[in-house]
Copies of this chain bind each other. A is one copy, B any other.
Amino acid sequence: MSNGGGASSSTHLLDFLEEPIPGVGTYDDFHTIDWVREKCKDRERHRKINSKKKESAWEFTKSLYDAWSGWLVVTLTGLASGALAGLIDIAADWMNDIKEGVCLSAMWFNHEQCCWTSNETTFAERDKCPQWKSWAELILGQAEGPGSYIMNYFMYIYWALSFAFLAVCLVKVFAPYACGSGIPEIKTILSGFIIRGYLGKWTLMIKTITLVLAVASGLSLGKEGPLVHVACCCGNIFSYLFPKYSKNEAKKREVLSAASAAGVSVAFGAPIGGVLFSLEEVSYYFPLKTLWRSFFAALVAAFVLRSINPFGNSRLVLFYVEYHTPWRRKSTRFGKYPVLEVILVAAITAVVAFPNPYTRQNTSELIKELFTDCGPLESSQLCQYRSQMNGSRAFTDNPNRPAGPGVYAAMWQLCLALIFKIIMTIFTFGLKVPSGLFIPSMAIGAIAGRIVGIAVEQLAYYHHDWFLFKEWCEVGVDCITPGLYAMVGAAACLGGVTRMTVSLVVIVFELTGGLEYIVPLMAAVMTSKWVGDAFGREGIYEAHIRLNGYPFLDAKEEFTHTTLAREVMRPRRSDPPLAVLTQDDLTVEELQAIINETSYNGFPVIVSKESQRLVGFALRRDITIAIENARRKQEGIVLNSRVYFTQHAPTLPADSPRPLKLRSILDMSPFTVTDHTPMEIVVDIFRKLGLRQCLVTHNGILLGIITKKNILEHLEEVKQQVEPLIEGH
């Protein structure tokens, strides 16, 4: 190739430039990918492998590996997510119990496991097994009395603060991306944004460890949202084993969609709900093939988790539930001191939570208790009704149960717990530790629901002749189930926070396993969505995305304005003219000048300054790389060299330097719309095809450009002009 020197304009010799230039076609950090280009790249790769596969056994094996890599990567992701979720469950459980005491027979047993090995078989005695020692028993040698209460209180706070401190320090020092739930960022990444390191191995490792610490510290946060992030990290890491996925940002996002389904699946033990969550809430581009693979990943993950689940729940992890997104407050004084902030919130949480049994216990267990109906085996305080008859069956079957002192006490404690949870959850959202919002919101809803349920039940008891209760409550049949009220409340609260609809109903349905509750659940979720929408149509993810300023084009919001493409395109009337490249009369120097003077990500290429007809589009990054590459590898390319994007080199004077052919980096099929195209269509095209930019023409003449950023700005503008209307539409 070295004879390519000299000023010859022979295109033949220059054709080695048609070889892919390294770096062309990759993306910078915090940039948006080009879905169309990525999908074309993938099909090209696929065709290459297919055409080669008959050449040799090795090529055939490679093609098989390629064909099956999609299933392999989702299987691996499912396995890893399930295993990690199990690990996190066990560790968080153990550390949560460490706050209260240790198991003398085996340090690594949590409270429940410790007592399993003891021989106490009666239900009530189970919690008080001799092997399990509270800190007061260990240090002071006595289990009862105010001294030991204070000792236990102190140790509880000590451990809570230690865990919180460790968690926030680890996040701050090693992986700042590990904080929060990660769902808004994953949504943004899936829509085509690049955030390097957000799904890397460091984030995975630190997030796993700090998630355990954060949950164990007793902060009002959940582990379900972060589990989605953990699963996506697994998906991203495993996709590096397969060139099909590691080298293609669009294909990688298919894996991530499946991984997020696996994450929800292990968080709630709800594989179908996980797939619907991925479809409804998280994913942007979701082909049917991904639906099927997501379902598979979700099932594998749920299966693995069930296999390693040491508690033997047949329903996977029923009500070891919770999750979701953080809301980072941007303007608190403490925001600048994340460690101090975490310690402070953890301290307040620990101090206030300990005395109230409903706030001290694990939130997931609290939800489980609230959902559970009072049966004969239930020892909970919530079930201490005064029994009217003396038979044990009366406890279960009598529909009219007057509340006993236990229920009254529980009501007070629940009311206090409700206030505490609401306040602490608001303040915990934005802490710099892994934190989800799902369990806390469910807990708030469940507490409120249970309170209402018990109130209605007592109403029904004392006023059983009211026409309402008369119709509903047949004799001998349970007519009010406070547990169902709690479940409906939990779903409604979560629905209001996240604005999930179908996936939420399916998740709760899978958790509780009763088709018969679907109707009240659906009514509750629908009502809470409508009430929420009256205040603003954004769920907490969208709000978070907007607060962080991510370039996310929401597919759910409809664009209802009458603007045309020419009103949104750049340049605007007052702007300088559009920076364009002509196809064959620029020099390298002029090209570099244009690039240096502007900061655009790409430039339209036109036939000539006179005709302004559009030829194609070239990306800034590709031009820079191509010029550098040519000056390094091709002799004769000087500042004065002519740059051409055409198929054949322009005819040049004999003494002019060798020209530079850049056709290989020219996108010859840029998307165009006419200036009269309504913006609603343009927005639709951007959403459905995942475009980064679109050129605007009038009668074939280039007028301007619309980028994703322009669209987001325009959406913001029209939103401020017209006050948001509540539309059932």
Contacts and interface: CB of A to CB of B under 8 A. Distances in A.
Interface string A256-293: 00000000000000011001000010000000110110
Nearest to A529: B292
A466 B688 CA distance: 57
Given A502-B292, A560-B46, A515 B515 contact: no
A336 interface: no
A674 B680 contact: no
B560 A47 contact: yes
B700 A614 contact: yes
A701 interface: yes
A9 B521 CA distance: 65
Interface stretch (A96-104, A295-303, A380-388, A630-638): A295-303
A272 B275 CA distance: 12
Given A70-B729, A518-B271, A607 B47 contact: no
Contact of A701 (B64, B502, B613, B685): B613
Given A288-B556, A688-B688, A727-B67, A681 B700 contact: no
Interface string A304-319: 0000000000111000
A677 interface: yes
Interface in A501-558: 501-502, 505-506, 509-510, 513, 515-516, 518-519, 522, 526, 555-556, 558
24 contacts: A46-B729, A47-B560, A47-B562, A67-B727, A68-B728, A70-B728, A275-B502, A280-B288, A280-B291, A288-B555, A288-B556, A296-B522, A299-B519, A314-B516, A565-B669, A613-B613, A613-B701, A614-B699, A614-B700, A668-B676, A669-B674, A688-B688, A697-B700, A700-B702
B729 A67 contact: yes
Contacts of A272: 272, 506, 509
B519 A40 contact: no
Contact of A674 (B296, B670, B677, B729): B670
A175 to B, nearest CB: 33
B560 A43 contact: yes
Given A70-B729, A272-B272, A669-B677, 9 more contacts: A67-B728, A280-B288, A289-B556, A296-B522, A299-B519, A315-B515, A668-B674, A669-B673, A700-B701
Contact of A681 (B40, B556, B674, B729): B40
Q: In which size bucket is the chain A interface? A: 35 or more
A299 B518 contact: yes
A400 interface: no
Nearest to A521: B299
A683 to B, nearest CB: 11
A515 B518 contact: no
B303 A501 contact: no
A684 B680 contact: no
Contacts of A409: none
Nearest to A565: B669
Given A70-B728, A701-B700, A515 B510 contact: yes
Contacts of A616: 674
Interface in A311-362: 314-316
